[in-house]
Structure 1
Amino acid sequence: MTASAMTFPAPDRRALSDFRALAGRIDGNGPRYTSYPTADRFRNDPDLSLYHDALADCRADAPAPLSLYLHIPFCENICYYCGCNKIITRDHGRSARYVSYLGREMALVADRLGTRREVIQSHWGGGTPTFLDPDEMRRVMALLNEHFALTADGEHAIEIDPRRVDHARMALLAELGFNRVSLGVQDFDAEVQQAIHRIQPFEETRAVVDAARALGFRSVSLDLIYGLPHQTAARFGHTIGQVLALRPDRLSVYSYAHLPHVFKPQRRIDESALPPAGEKLDILVSTIERLTAEGYVYIGMDHFALPDDDLAVAQREGRLQRNFQGYSTHAGYDQVGLGISAIGAIAGRYVQNARTLDAYYGALDQGRLPLARGVAMNADDHLRREIIGDLMCNGILDLPAIEARHGIDFSRAFSAELADLGRLSEDGLVQCEPGRITVTPLGRLLVRRVAMVFDRYLREDAARRADNGAQAANDGAQPIRIVPRYSRVV
C-alpha cells in the first residue's frame, strides 16, 4: 500500500454537515483506544510474574529501542476540569522523596532488561512535571541516562504549565535533552478560565512558546478543551484565533467529559454553565473548519498538525500509531511506564503501576515492581488491536494482508462485525469493497464509533445486557440497566 493511499483526506463541508446530523444519533462515550484491550479491562492485583515475563521477553528482543513514559503527579493548584492522577501540594519536599523512589523503580526495570536499552521516544507527563525544581529535574534525567540510553535523535517530550516556567526553566529543559514541549491552554477566555480555576493570560503562554522557538525545540504542541463552562462557538473561535497567532506545530482539542461522580474537583463546576450538546458540537465543527482552512492536517479524533510536522509525515507514510499519549510517530516499540499510575505496553502485556504514593512506595520498599493492574494479550487481542489501529491511524483495512499475517478468513472470523460495518456504510462512515475497508472523511470524525465495531469486550458487554434483559422479562421484572464500562481517559 502506498503512503498516499494511507493518507486521510481532509474533512470537507459535506462531511462536517453530515457529522452534525449523525453525531447525536450514533456517537457517544467510548474508548479512545490508546490501548486494546482498553485500560478498564486490566485485571486488578495480577500476579507480579506478568510484569517479570514481559520484561524477560522484552530483554530477549534487545537491542530494539524502547519508548518510555514517566509520571510526575504533583501540581500546586487544582484545575476543576482535570481527570488526571495528580497530587495537589505546595510542599516541594514531597517531590524529593518521589525522585528517589523513581530511581529505585528504574533500577529494578533496568536490571530485568539486562542491558542499558536505547530509548527512542520519551514523555514526561503529570500532574505538572515542572513542579520538580531544577536540581530534581537534573537528578531524574541523570537516573534515566544511568539506566537507559536516551537517543539524541529521538523524540523527548515534556508537558509544561506555562504559568510555572520562565525562559530560564525552558533553557534547562533544552539543556536536559527535551526537544518537544506540550503546553496546557484549555481556553484563553477569561470567564472560562475563572470557572475552571486556571488563570492563564495569553501573553504568558506566548512568552513560553517564543522561548521554545528561540531555544530550538523541534515541536511545540498546545492542548485545548471544548465543552467547558461558558464556552460558545464564537468565544472559542476567539481562542482559536489566538492559538493560530502562535502557530503551534501540533494541537490537541479534547472534549470535556463532565463526570463529577468520578472526578471530585469537577463538582466545583457549575453544570448550568456547560454548553448544551448542540453548542458543543458547533464548537468542534467550527474548530475543525478553521484549523484545516489554516493549513493544519486533521490527524484524527482530537489531533491536528502542520503538514511538515513529524506526526503528519508519519500519517502520510503509514507509520502513525496510538499509544497512551494519543497519536504517535513511532510504531512497534515496547513502552516502559515509570511512576505512579504509569502504564507500560511490553511484549504483549499491559502493566499499570500503583495509583497512590503509599502503595507505590510500599512495593519499592519491599524491592518489588509496583504493579497494580495488567493484562496479557491473547491472539484475538493482538488481531483486534491491529485492526483498530489501522482504522484509527491509517483509515484503511487491507484484508488480504491481515488474513496472511494472522492466518484467518476475515469474512468468516468477523461476520458480525462486517454486518455492523454495513450499517455504518449506509450512514457514510466506511466504504466496504472487495479486500478493503476504508474510513470516509465523515467516518474520520466518528472513527471511535467505527473502531468500536471490532471491540470484542464491548460486544460481550452488549450480549450480557441482552441476556439480563431477557431474563428479567421472563421473570416478570423490569430489566436492569447495565452501564457499559468505557475507558474515557485512555
Structure 2
Amino acid sequence: MSLYQEPLAWDQSVIDRYDLSGPRYTSYPTAPQFRDDFSRQQWLEAVARSNRSGKPLSLYFHIPFCDTLCFYCACNKIVTHKRSRAMPYLERVDREMALQAEVFDTDRPVSQLHWGGGTPTYISEDEMTWLMDATRRHFQLLDNDEGEYSVEVHPGRMSVGKLVHMRQLGFNRVSMGVQDFNPEVQRAVNRYNSVEQVRELVDVARDQGYQSISMDLIYGLPLQTRASVKETLDQVIDLGPDRLSLFNYAHLPHLFKSQRLIHESDLPSPQDKLAILHEAIERLQSAGYVYIGMDHFAKPDDSLVKAQQEGRLQRNFQGYSTHAECDLIAFGVSAISYYGSTYIQNAKKVEEYQTRIDEGRPALIKGVRLQPEDHLRRAVINQLICHFKLSFGQLYERFGINPNQYFRDELAQLAPMVEDGLIEVTPAGITVLNKGRLLIRRVCMVFDQYLDTGNQIRYSKVI
C-alpha cells in the first residue's frame, strides 16, 4: 500500500508538542507579505510575463453576497436581503474583466474557472447567465466540458432549478458547504441545510452530469460532540461525495465580528475537538476516502488522488488543485491573482473596489513579485504539502543549489521531527512519514523565511 492510501497514524503526545499556529500555505509568500506600494507598472510587468509564458488561464470570481449570516464565517462577505445590490457589483466585475482583457493575451484557453464567495448562488439565474456571457466575451472559455468549472453553493439556499441552470451554463463541478447536519449545531451557527435538501441536490447533480461533487464540513463548532459529528459523517458518507473537506473552526472573535455571536462556552474543549477530528479521520478512511492532506479527502479514483500520485498536485487559494500549469486571474472584491511570478490582491472593501473600477483603474491594492529565494522556498513547501516528500536532486536541477548545504539551518531545526518519527531526512531528500502527515504545516513552517514565530495570532492551529 502506498503512503497516500495508508491510514493516518495518530500520536497524541506528538500532536500536543507540534500543534502550533501557522499559515495554511495557499500561497508563498503568504498574504501578510503582500506590499501596499505595489504599482500599476509592476502589474503590467506581471501581465507581460504571463503573456510570454503562454500558459492557460484559471479565472476566479468572488461573489460576496449572502442573505443570512453564518456566525462562524471568516470570509469577505456582504450580508443583505437587497437582491438589487448584486447587479451593480456584477457590472463592475464585467468592467474589471474588460480592463484585464485589454492587456492580457486572451487567446489562451480558460482551463479552470471558479465562483466563490460569499454565496455565489445568491445571484439570480438571469444574473448568472449575464456573468457567464460577459466572461465569454472577454476570455476563451471551453465549450467541450474538458475544463474544471466549479461553483460553491449553500445547499440550504439552493434550488434544483438553479443547479440545472448552472450545468447548462458550463459548470461541471459543485462544492456544497454542508458544515454540519445536527439541528442544534445549525441553530448555534445560524446555518441550515437538511440531509433531504442535500440529497436532492446530489441526485440532480449526478443526473445532470456534474463531474465532481464536493462537500465541506467543519469540526470544532459550538455544541458539536463526538456522537453528533459521527452521525453527520455517516449521513455524508451515505451521500457519497467525490471529495470532502474537514475544516478546523478557528474561533477568532477579535478578528471576525460575526464570531462574537458564538458562545465560547458552547465550543468543544481542545481535547474533545482533537478527539472529534481523530474519529472523523478514521471514519472517512474506513469508508474508502484517501487523505490528500490539509483537511482534504477524496475517493481513490478522483483526479486529486491521481494528480498526487503522479506528482502534479499543487495548492492555491481554492485549496488543492490539479492545474499547476495555469495563470490565475481573480476578479471581484478581495480576490487574489497569481501570474507572472506575482501575487496581486484586489481592494478588500466593496466600496473601494467599485470606486477603483468606476475610475477606470485596476482594483489591485497589494502585491508581491516573487524573488529567486521565494521561488525556491515556494517549490519546497508545495512539494512537501502536496506530496509529502522533497527530492534534493530535483532542487539541484531546478535551482542549482546543494540543498544539504543551503538548508543546513532548516535541517537542524527538523532534527526533533526526525527523532519523533514525523519525517525522514537523508542526503537524497525529505520524506514525511505517516505520523507526520497531519502536521505537514508544521514541517513547512521551517522553510518559511518570513514567519515570525513570536506573532501567530492571525493564524489558525496546525490541526
With the length of structure 1 as denominator, give the TM-score of the two structures. 0.91
Amino acid at match of 1:60: R
Give distance in 2, aligned partners of 1:24 and 1:309: 32
* Aligned partner (choices 386, 390, 394) of residue 387 of structure 2: 394
Instruction: Tell me the matched-pair count.
Output: 460
2:56/2:325 contact within 8 Å kept: no
1:38/1:487 contact within 8 Å kept: no
Give distance in 1, aligned partners of 2:37 and 2:86: 26
* CA-CA distance at 1:116 after TM superposition: 3.2
Q: Say if 2:183 is the partner of 1:190.
A: yes
Q: Say if 2:126 is the partner of 1:135.
A: yes
Partner of 1:10: 6
* Aligned partner (choices 127, 146, 149) of residue 156 of structure 1: 149
Partner of 2:416: 423
Amino acid at match of 2:455: V
Extract unaligned runs of 5+ from structure 2.
none
3-state SS in 1 of match to 2:4: coil
* CA-CA distance at 1:53 after TM superposition: 1.3
Q: What value does the CA root-mean-square deviation take over the aligned residues?
A: 1.5
Alpha carbons of structure 1 residues 52 and 373: separation in structure 2 relative to 1, 3 Å: same
Partner of 2:315: 322
2:343/2:367 contact within 8 Å kept: yes
3-state SS in 2 of match to 1:279: helix
Amino acid at match of 2:235: Q
Partner of 1:249: 242
* Aligned partner (choices 349, 354, 378) of residue 356 of structure 1: 349
3-state SS in 1 of match to 2:6: coil
Give distance in 2, aligned partners of 1:270 and 1:50: 45
For 1:324-378, what per-residue CA distance to the aligned partner results, in whole angstroms no more than 9, with x for missing partners?
0111111132111111100001111000000112111111112111011111110
1:40/1:486 contact within 8 Å kept: no
Q: Say if 2:89 is the partner of 1:93.
A: no
Per mean C-alpha deviation after superposition, the further-off stretch among 219-228 and 325-334 is 325-334
Give distance in 1, aligned partners of 2:63 and 2:6: 36
* CA-CA distance at 1:204 after TM superposition: 1.1
* Aligned partner (choices 72, 75, 98) of residue 66 of structure 2: 75
3-state SS in 2 of match to 1:483: coil
1:40/1:485 contact within 8 Å kept: no
Amino acid at match of 1:432: V
* Aligned partner (choices 88, 102, 108) of residue 93 of structure 2: 102
**1:9-408 aligned within 5 A:** 9-12=5-8, 15-16=9-10, 18=11, 20-62=12-54, 64-151=55-142, 152=144, 153-408=146-401
With the length of structure 2 as denominator, give the TM-score of the two structures. 0.97
Give distance in 1, aligned partners of 2:218 and 2:170: 29
Q: Say if 2:455 is the partner of 1:483.
A: yes
Amino acid at match of 2:44: H
1:34/1:326 contact within 8 Å kept: yes
1:296/1:306 contact within 8 Å kept: yes
Amino acid at match of 2:138: H
2:252/2:259 contact within 8 Å kept: yes
Give distance in 2, aligned partners of 1:483 and 1:431: 29
Amino acid at match of 1:120: S
Identity of aligned residues (%): 49
